[in-house]
Structure 1
Amino acid sequence: MLSVLLLTAVAGCSSNTPPDAAPGGDRPLLWGPCPALPEGATRDPRQTCATLQVPLDHDHPDGRTLELAVSRIVTARPDSRRGVLLLNPGGPGLEGLELPSLYATMLPSEVLDRYDLIGFDPRGVGSSSPVTCGLTDVSLATIFPYPAADGSIDANVALARETAARCAASTSGDVLPFITTANTARDMDRIRQALGEGKISYWGQSYGTYLGAVYASLFAEHTDRMVLEGNIDPSSVWHEGFARFWGVGMASRFPDAASHAAANDDLVHLGRSAEEVTAAYLELASRLDATPASVPGTSVRISGGLFRTFTYSLLQRDEQIPLLVQFWRAIGHLADGTPTAEDAAVLQQLFAQEPARTGVPVDNQTAVFLSLICGDASWPTDIELYRKNTAEDRAAHPLTAGMPFNIWPCAFWKTQPREAPVEVTSQGAHNILLLQNRRDNATPWESGLGMREALGARATFVGVDAGGHYVYGQGSSCADSVSDTFLVTGQLPQDDVFCAN
């Protein structure tokens, strides 16, 4: 286990009051009410919102613009204020406007005393000039291309081709090529300027780690303290990263859930060992590949792909593992034709209809997700290569069934990336903290090490012997302490740290 040997202070400028006006004569951000929330949702009453115009194409700043929605909670004390903490939840395609309300409950007072919390919906997302591909089937099973029951990818090829064509022909078709990570990072610097800040601190999770690393590479001189949690290897976006890490991540994380199911076999009846549970899971997924199960009272049909996708999602948090195991049991009963009232309650919880956001297309997250992964970097176009690699991976990683190597709409995307991926650089101050769980199925340990290598001496890596996609506030006092100390004082361990819990 690595230990903290030496602390180094990170230099940076600070200010005492939260400025409202942008430098250089730009319009100030006019803070007021935020967009209406879906029914039942709540936010911190202190949170206010503003809009900011940013160039569609940053190479032509005087041309067409997009409107960004930005939010703020003023939490910093005037006598200890350092600046702002900009927040991003990842995705790609997740809305970030409500993050100040969330982080105001997560972060300790000594951190909140030093930063105002800033959220935003990235370009194309939510309340920020939302884009669409004109898709009506926006299920997760459609996004993640699992092969057919016999391993065929013919249906995936046809769907990928159709989806790419629909995106290009949609009302957002001319905007989608500009929905990229590099442009989102440039938008972040426009937010910095509009806030009147010389530097910004940043907290990014999942995809937000890649976005943060790109920002820190493009705008090192404007980067203050940065926390990146659940890290993407910036050298492997996006096709290569899916292929390298997805199967590995599921293989490292799945035993946590399988062990929980085995320990509760008297209730779950999937097996008395992790190995037996895994075999039962794979058998059930195979059955659903051949014959999807209909969820009573809904239009949902649980295919093998959707079954695996829900498993992937629920594995991201430890507290969701009991629900995941109940889901497995319920789907098993459904496939057998013997669902119980308890099964129905579990499925109702998982498949409850999310309230719609007014003015946001139903496929918004899908459209942004595809725009980013297709627009950040080129993808292979050889269908036979996808066919070969999918078959090989299907045998090597049965939990993911070949999906990570399969074909996506990016193989048929109508426009080529407008620029090469930004090189994430190790040049800059030692002011980036990387938080990484050992058994993270979404951004595996190996992916986190890739980010660590790319940032070099700029970063300190804190690894936690835990599962799930989230590190901070999940029970590791070791990781939380390093994070809080860094944000409050600027001090980072000089050497990497491994936390036992």
Structure 2
Amino acid sequence: MHKRKTIGAAALVAVATAAIGVVPAASATARRAADPFAGFDGQTLTWQACGAFQCATLTVPQNYSDPTGPVIHLPVIKSPATNPAHRVGTLFVDPGGPAASGVGFVQQQPSPFSPALRARFDIVSWDRRGSAASNPTLHCLDDSALDTYNHLDPASSDVGALMRAGASYATACRSASAAGLTSDGGTLQTAFDTDVLRSAIGEQRISYLGFSYGTFQGAWYAELFPTHVRSIVLDGMFDPSLSGEQILVGEAAGFEGELKYYESACTASNGVPCPAPDPAGMSALIDGLTARVRTSPLPVPGSTRTVGPGELASAFTFLGLAPEVTWGLANAALAQAATGDGTGLLAMADAWTGRNPDGTNDGTAVDGTALWCSDRPWPTSAPGWSALRSAAEAAGPHLGAGRAEQALPCTAWNLPTLLPAALTAPAAPPIVVVSTTGDPATPYQWGVHAARTFAHGVLLTFRGHGHTAYGRSNACVTDAVDKDLINGTPPVSGTLC
């Protein structure tokens, strides 16, 4: 069983605070007094068959500054190497989301991983603390209240009402969840969880493939535990140096750009024709719906719900994620909306927010909010949030207010546990950053900047549209990523695919 050299809590927090900008989460006395990994490092996982995979449970402290306090149980899944005789090692995968289930990601069919990766690696993932099937799990608004929250008009002139809604969201999370969980759910704690898991599976070094928000997690893991990384690929880069405002304004511009791209390049998708004959007609349809739902939300036959500005913004955001899938849905939904029926648009909005057809929510939006709010500072006043919204609306007239809404619960959240930091990971192996030129959620320049900032960063560019590239782009990306992860041979920085 490989085990990390013991690192004291004081050392971890001191290094992070001085070099990276961590906001301490507990008293200095508590940090000095406790080994953050005591009783958790080197634990043995009990693997059991779960369909075609193996599943286990990892135990971690809720707060690494208090390792004798409450614990969290994290579901872990493993897809064993299909060619064990030529097994390279273990590949950790983080699907992002920001808080999508890692267990569910590995269980997807068809598999999101190439046959080459499945052959050579035990592929391991887990549900982040507080999310999916972790125990305890974060709880916030009930399903009905969450529907009401998602129906808000993020561009409303009543900023006071929006701020109160955000504060109610944050308060509900604190009151409905295990004590302290909203303070102990950020990426810094998850980086420690990652290394506890590495120790538990008996690997001295792991390979890592992170998507979207999983790139933020991977960057921090490489910074804090560089000698435990064998190879690492980050696809759809959340640049750790960006402030919350910079992230949301960048996303507003990115999703607005993809909406304009859809207007200008709309084609029949999955047999569904465009809802308008030309770009001008597409633009008129989208602008008309945007204006209409502000005063007359679209009804949804058979439901008491309607499509207002909040749902329309969510639907248009979902539209930009994967054109090969979402354009066909949008074509049908917009044609339907032109007749006054919001059914299709509401389905797209629900796909974005994680609402199930039976009215329950899968928790991804709530869990993502906890990460979003914990991992960086946010405006806490009405003028501060209004300034953020104005900047986002300037960058994305249709979608900026909707992106700014993501920060409303953060205005009343706990203190953040991280600050923006230009991570360099100087002791880590080459970090391959995959960035897509038309990625709305993690704009291309974020990846360019991060790759340049890492001491050994390598940029791999996919010329295309949609969020992330591996598994949905082309053989050029797949081959380059696989060669780095399997052989430790990164592509030439600047490679275009």
TM-score range (shorter-chain normalised) is 0.7 to 0.9
Pick which of 197-206 and 68-77 moved more.
Answer: 68-77
Runs of 5+ unmatched residues, structure 1 = 1-12, 14-22, 35-44
User: Aligned pair 1:306/2:311, yes or no?
Assistant: yes
CA offsets per residue over residues 104-141 of structure 1, 9 Å max, x none?
Answer: 83433332222101121111111111111243346588
Runs of 5+ unmatched residues, structure 2 = 3-38
Compute the displacement of 1:363 (Å). 6.7
8 Å Cα contact 1:132/1:363 also seen in 2: no
The equivalent residue for 1:3 is: none
The equivalent residue for 2:33 is: none
User: Aligned pair 1:326/2:332, yes or no?
Assistant: yes
8 Å Cα contact 1:145/1:403 also seen in 2: no
Q: Distance in 1 between matches of 2:125 and 2:431?
A: 19
The equivalent residue for 2:426 is: 427
CA offsets per residue over residues 352-389 of structure 1, 9 Å max, x none?
Answer: 973789xxx94733332222122222212231232244
8 Å Cα contact 1:74/1:116 also seen in 2: yes
User: Aligned pair 1:292/2:292, yes or no?
Assistant: no
2:237 to 224, 231, 238: 231
The equivalent residue for 2:101 is: 95
TM-score by length of 1: 0.82
User: Aligned pair 1:133/2:140, yes or no?
Assistant: yes
8 Å Cα contact 1:249/1:441 also seen in 2: yes
CA RMSD of aligned residues (A): 3.2
Change (3 A) 1:429 1:103: farther
8 Å Cα contact 2:222/2:425 also seen in 1: no
CA offsets per residue over residues 214-261 of structure 1, 9 Å max, x none?
Answer: 111111010111121111111115343112x11220233223321344
Compute the displacement of 1:348 (Å). 6.6
The equivalent residue for 1:42 is: none
Change (3 A) 1:331 1:24: closer
User: Aligned pair 1:258/2:263, yes or no?
Assistant: yes
Change (3 A) 1:394 1:73: closer
8 Å Cα contact 1:381/1:411 also seen in 2: yes
Q: Distance in 2 between matches of 1:309 and 1:348?
A: 10
Q: Using CA pairs under 8 Å that are at least 6 residues apart, name the structure with larger relative contact order, 1 or 2.
A: 1
The equivalent residue for 2:180 is: 174
Q: Distance in 1 between matches of 2:314 and 2:383?
A: 25
SS of residue paired to 2:45: coil
Percent identity between the two aligned chains: 25
CA offsets per residue over residues 66-85 of structure 1, 9 Å max, x none?
Answer: 10110112115333211111
Compute the displacement of 1:424 (Å). 2.1
Compute the displacement of 1:212 (Å). 0.8
The equivalent residue for 1:315 is: 320
Compute the displacement of 1:421 (Å). 5.6
8 Å Cα contact 2:333/2:344 also seen in 1: no
Q: Distance in 2 between matches of 1:114 and 1:131?
A: 35
1:180-259 correspondence to structure 2 within 5 Å: 180-243=186-249, 245-259=250-264
Q: Distance in 2 between matches of 1:135 and 1:240?
A: 31
Compute the displacement of 1:428 (Å). 2.5
CA offsets per residue over residues 289-341 of structure 1, 9 Å max, x none?
Answer: 2221121112331112211211211321122212112212212222xxxx4xx
Q: Distance in 2 between matches of 1:221 and 1:298?
A: 55
Compute the displacement of 1:276 (Å). 4.0
CA offsets per residue over residues 197-224 of structure 1, 9 Å max, x none?
Answer: 0011111111111111111111101011
Compute the displacement of 1:25 (Å). 8.2
User: Aligned pair 1:32/2:30, yes or no?
Assistant: no
Change (3 A) 1:345 1:252: closer
The equivalent residue for 1:8 is: none
AA in 2 matched with 1:379? W
Q: Distance in 2 between matches of 1:467 and 1:184?
A: 30
The equivalent residue for 1:379 is: 378
Q: Distance in 1 between matches of 2:265 and 2:286?
A: 13
Q: Distance in 1 between matches of 2:436 and 2:477?
A: 10
AA in 2 matched with 1:440? D
8 Å Cα contact 1:209/1:229 also seen in 2: yes
1:481 to 472, 479, 483: 479
2:162 to 150, 156, 176: 156
8 Å Cα contact 1:84/1:116 also seen in 2: yes
Change (3 A) 1:140 1:199: farther
Compute the displacement of 1:439 (Å). 0.6
SS of residue paired to 1:160: helix
Q: Distance in 1 between matches of 2:148 and 2:449?
A: 28
Compute the displacement of 1:449 (Å). 2.1
1:59 to 44, 62, 65: 65
The equivalent residue for 2:18 is: none
SS of residue paired to 1:234: coil
